[in-house]
């Protein structure tokens, strides 16, 4: 929808957006860049799990931020707050704001939750305020905030290059329904890349046409230390019969994909096998249309 059409939208009660998680369907490390980052080629897709972010205006210049997760930082340590400040510095902000974030994604899961929340803040401000005219004007701000943030502005499966900030939408032709396993502990992203750099070797290629071969080059280094993740991937592939199973990004989430949605009995089996500490959810890969539809769904956790 164009900004002019959005200008006719009733925004008096604020804007609430769904901030989807992502999974990495392929992650190839192409070398080390002069800026210290790794050059990547990675395929990412938004999924039907995510947070919800609401922004409303109020009289006065103050910006208020609240989150239902007390462990998340506020102020400039929070990507949502940084995104709002960056938007204000770049385009101006002529009203006060109240920002509410409902966290549904676990921290440190490698699902891009913080980056997605930041992108949702930029998109919500554009809808609420009616500017900038083009969504593309938000891309430089997104790249400043983090490598994954531009992807979440696109909101559809994409092939990403550079640090991950160069986003080229590309349909995902493989299975779309999945089961996600998060063990309850994070894998620090800097550590994962440092471990890869100490012993660089490609991940195991898997998959069949039209989506394969694909791989995650961080898996060998991460699996050597985090045996739970290797066991989870093997369980999804061998015991649960997934068409594709792999670690997302640098972890610590692992997912399996099927042509049809996994039934509740598979969730029960996974919970019994991995224990109560594991965060286990079914999901679907989103297209742009399904992502937009989710933005207007009620929050089941209200």
Q: Is a pLDDT exceeding 70 seen at residue 290?
A: no
Q: Does residue 126 form part of some domain?
A: yes
Q: Are 80 and 65 in contact (CB under 8 A)?
A: yes
* Structure confidence at residue 58 (pLDDT): 87
Q: Give Cα separations from 35 to 163, 168, 259, 273, 297 (angstroms).
A: 10, 22, 40, 43, 41
Q: Does residue 107 form part of some domain?
A: yes
Q: Is a pLDDT exceeding 60 seen at residue 12?
A: yes
State the residue range of the domain holding 192. Answer: 177-284
State the virtual CA torsion across 213, 218, 220, 226 in degrees, nearest 10. Answer: -130
Q: Are residues 84 and 208 in the same domain?
A: no
The structural domain count of the chain equals: 2
Q: Is a pLDDT exceeding 50 seen at residue 213?
A: yes
pLDDT tens digits for 49-75? 999 999 999 888 889 999 999 888 877
Out of 26, 51, 148, 217, the active site residue is: 148
| Catalytic residue check, 148 | yes
Out of 22, 102, 103, 156, the active site residue is: 22
Q: Does residue 275 form part of some domain?
A: yes
Boundary (domain end) residue, out of 171, 192, 219: 171
More confident residue, 288 or 172: 172
For residue 67, give the nearest of 109, 111, 121, 27 by alpha carbon.
121
Q: Are residues 138 and 122 in the same domain?
A: yes
R_g of the chain computed on alpha carbons: 19
Mean pLDDT, the chain, whole residue set: 89
Q: Does residue 250 form part of some domain?
A: yes
For residue 19, give the nearest of 53, 66, 68, 45 by alpha carbon.
53
Q: Are residues 228 and 151 in the same domain?
A: no
Chain center to CA of 255:
14
Q: Does residue 301 form part of some domain?
A: no
Q: Are residues 106 and 243 in the same domain?
A: no
3-state secondary structure of 260: coil
3-state secondary structure of 189: helix
Q: In what order do the strands lie in the sheet with 279-284?
A: 244-247, 254-258, 177-182, 279-284
Q: Are residues 148 and 15 in the same domain?
A: yes
Q: Are residues 160 and 240 in the same domain?
A: no
* Structure confidence at residue 11 (pLDDT): 59
- pLDDT band of residue 7 (cuts 50, 70, 90) is very low
Q: Does residue 292 form part of some domain?
A: no
Q: Does residue 302 form part of some domain?
A: no
Q: Are residues 133 and 258 in the same domain?
A: no
Q: Are residues 160 and 197 in the same domain?
A: no
- pLDDT band of residue 251 (cuts 50, 70, 90) is very high
Q: Does residue 93 form part of some domain?
A: yes
Q: Are residues 81 and 127 in the same domain?
A: yes
Q: If DSSP states are collapsed to H, E and C, what string results for 121-161?
A: HHHHHHHHHCCCCCHHHHHHHHHHHCCCHHHHHHCCCEEEE
- CATH number (domain holding residue 252): 3.30.70.890
Q: Are residues 116 and 193 in the same domain?
A: no
- CATH number (domain holding residue 8): 3.30.230.10
Q: Are residues 105 and 15 in the same domain?
A: yes
DSSP 110: S
Q: Are residues 66 and 191 in the same domain?
A: no
* Structure confidence at residue 75 (pLDDT): 76
């Amino acid at each position: 929808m164009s900004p002019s059409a959005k200008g006719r939208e009733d925004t008096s009660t604020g804007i609430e957006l769904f901030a989807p998680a992502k999974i990495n369907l392929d992650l190839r490390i192409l070398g080390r860049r002069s800026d210290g980052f790794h050059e990547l080629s990675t395929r990412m897709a938004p999924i039907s799990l995510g947070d919800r972010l609401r922004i409303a205006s109020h009289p006065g210049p103050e910006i208020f931020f609240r989150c239902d997760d007390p462990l998340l930082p506020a102020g400039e340590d929070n990507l949502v707050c940084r995104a709002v400040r960056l938007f204000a510095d770049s385009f101006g902000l002529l009203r006060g704001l109240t920002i509410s974030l409902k966290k549904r994604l676990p921290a440190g899961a490698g699902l891009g939750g913080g980056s997605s929340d930041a992108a949702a803040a930029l998109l919500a401000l554009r809808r609420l305020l009616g500017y900038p005219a083009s969504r593309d004007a938000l891309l430089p701000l997104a790249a400043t905030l983090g490598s994954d943030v531009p992807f979440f502005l696109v909101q559809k499966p994409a092939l990403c290059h550079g640090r991950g900030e160069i986003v080229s939408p590309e349909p995902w032709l493989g299975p779309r329904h999945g089961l996600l396993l998060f063990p309850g502990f994070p894998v620090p992203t800097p550590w994962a890349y440092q471990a890869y750099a100490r012993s660089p070797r490609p991940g195991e290629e898997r998959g069949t046409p039209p989506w394969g071969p694909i791989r995650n080059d961080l898996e060998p280094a991460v699996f050597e230390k985090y045996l739970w993740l290797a066991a989870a991937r093997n369980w999804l592939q061998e015991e649960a019969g997934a068409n594709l199973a792999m670690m997302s990004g640098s972890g610590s989430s692992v997912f399996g994909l099927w042509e049809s949605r996994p039934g509740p009995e598979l969730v029960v089996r996974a919970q019994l096998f991995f224990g109560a500490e594991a965060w286990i959810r079914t999901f679907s890969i989103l297209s742009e249309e399904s992502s937009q539809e989710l933005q207007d769904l009620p929050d089941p956790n209200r």
